[in-house]
Structure 1
């Protein structure tokens, strides 16, 4: 490398005397070969010094920089410029905070026509190198490697300028492995945005979520696009039980399950205890595409049925009542096409059937259809899967339950199975007045 200013022949010969101890192979990987000349130009340093101080005085400039500007600035100071904007911002901030104390070793001296430089190196097991440096004009600066950022052993320099001797310390090489370390375990805690605005900060669920409610009067819903439920269930790092225990959700909504209807029954068998209630939809137009599911706790037995039953009994104190609608329970085996195959299906579990009887029928409400037709098989619901309505493979889920005081006034309780348009059909009740 040649100087950009006039230097005497004696200076050139001094600058060319570089001895590389080849016995130590570790020095070969350091930034810059020991055989290279080091030239620090006054104008270049002044620009870097001003820019360094400008950024240090106003750290807000770092957030406002574009990715290209960040990379260019990092390269000027010899810091690796890889990664997204959040990584670059973190690296530059870290560099500005540490470098002002660690990396600014200043070398100050006056240059003349004849400059003689000698270097005494305190040798270590890792280094063996004698270097003569060619320096031009008055300079103050710091030396950095462009590839590495870990401090290596320090060496003393003795710089002769005429009769004046200035002793300074200089870092031979730098490794970034330890200096720029990003929190890889929780990368979401680092602000990553192409155009971050002032005041923006990254979301950290560990510190930003409020304390859990303790009074019990709450419901917790979760939503998750699983991008293929079968693959997720096979994933070693996933545990549905662990998720349920950790989050203690009441309702879990899934998207992109990518199941076919033939897969649903086997998947339902894998549901966690306490989350037996589920509803599934699958794409018929494109098999194995899209699909949603809702999985929920069974509050019917512990909360819904008792609460509704108590409310009906309160109303009954002043007048007879009629409870009607889709009660989502096939009470007896006669009320479902395949009782043996649905023992674990929501709407026909033993617990739900017992709750239906104890909370409604045992407390004075009468199932009008079953009273009128004790041995008749009649369904009010047919699933869309497998064309249940065409083959009459259904469930009786819709009811008219009435107070015992008006049960004898029921003239007819009936089902209208020929009306289409839904997976349920209408039901009717005629009372004598």
Structure 2
């Protein structure tokens, strides 16, 4: 007779999970699965002789009764986490979510429709490749224990007292899985003079389309930006990976300029960090022609010292500092190529006291390095931002565009679309993602013919340039895209590559780059 198994779990120092046949009480045959972390084999042992009632009661108490939904609701958060971890399920989140996860696992286990918690662990942590396993054996009447070892590569195996099947572990992160696993065991029990054979079948069917990369939150991620992190991802969205998404290097004989922009969040602090070599390595690695900096937080008295010690080969640098609030804001352009002209600010005194804009003119275009005012806590500067600063900057750019194309780069303090921020719903009234700021960004820049070069090149890519320090967003890639290269339509088609360098540390922003064919 084929019956289903209901699994209860008991964990000893050696790591033992026990299963009890609770649906066929007259067969009381426990099956013990020993699981050793150092081995790639999973061993089942099914003793032929019945175990003592006290051992069975203990297993039931610690296994089946603990998994009862009513009892689960009464468990503490720590007990639930311990239970989930013991069956290989991630245990992070609020209590209602963890209770639901545990109940779901138990329900799938009882119904026989989903995988058991052990199989859940194998799937979530190992993601096995296509498997179709069928193993059948006839058990002999014996008082000796029958042992089962599982192996992926064996489809049909028959043995007298031992059947072997091995399960290979796999770390594949994205595969098409259509697997059917069947474990059939027959055990024999002697009751007085009668011999009873019971046949137990465990079947697990898994059918899923292409699975996304699963991330264990407890383990550090080497390149978190390659993981799609978004509260409300849409179909077709992918995570930005500069290793695979940057365009091939432009031919050396093709005239071009490489521009870079970086909000350094305090230049002096960056240079004092252990990671400060990253600043100089960036110049060596990217060999840029122009570097635009925002939020330098320098005072005018500091500029000469910084300028002389910063980068060799970049003899042309132009700095503007805040005079209304010392050690605040500040922008700069460092160039290997000498520009035709330089301007500071918008030419409007109400906007030019915080050192937020530097403009340089080259042969083929104007380059603006800008640090747009943040609307601030409580959105106290929102009105100033959308009614004064944005329109004034837009008009200034259109005036320049009469003679040459314009490129604006820097921290524009606006995540334009929902794809540009990890948690759009939770930041509707946060500075940088209010409806007013997003509308102003669209009205004053995009609708006036300036192209978001990164979004044009990567319409469905989630790539962030800012991660707040407060919640360690960079480690989990929970960020915002606040840094841009906006280009006049007449020059946007000359862009060879618009990219982000999320691997460069030292600031809460990452550098961004633009390669422009001349």
Q: Check whether TM > 0.5.
A: no
Relative to total residues, which structure has the larger helix share, 1 or 2? 1
Relative contact order (alpha carbons < 8 A, sep ≥ 6): 1 or 2 greater? 2
Q: TM-score range by the shorter chain?
A: 0.3 to 0.5
Relative to total residues, which structure has the larger strand share, 1 or 2? 2
Q: Structure 2 length normalisation: TM-score?
A: 0.32
Q: Structure 1 length normalisation: TM-score?
A: 0.37
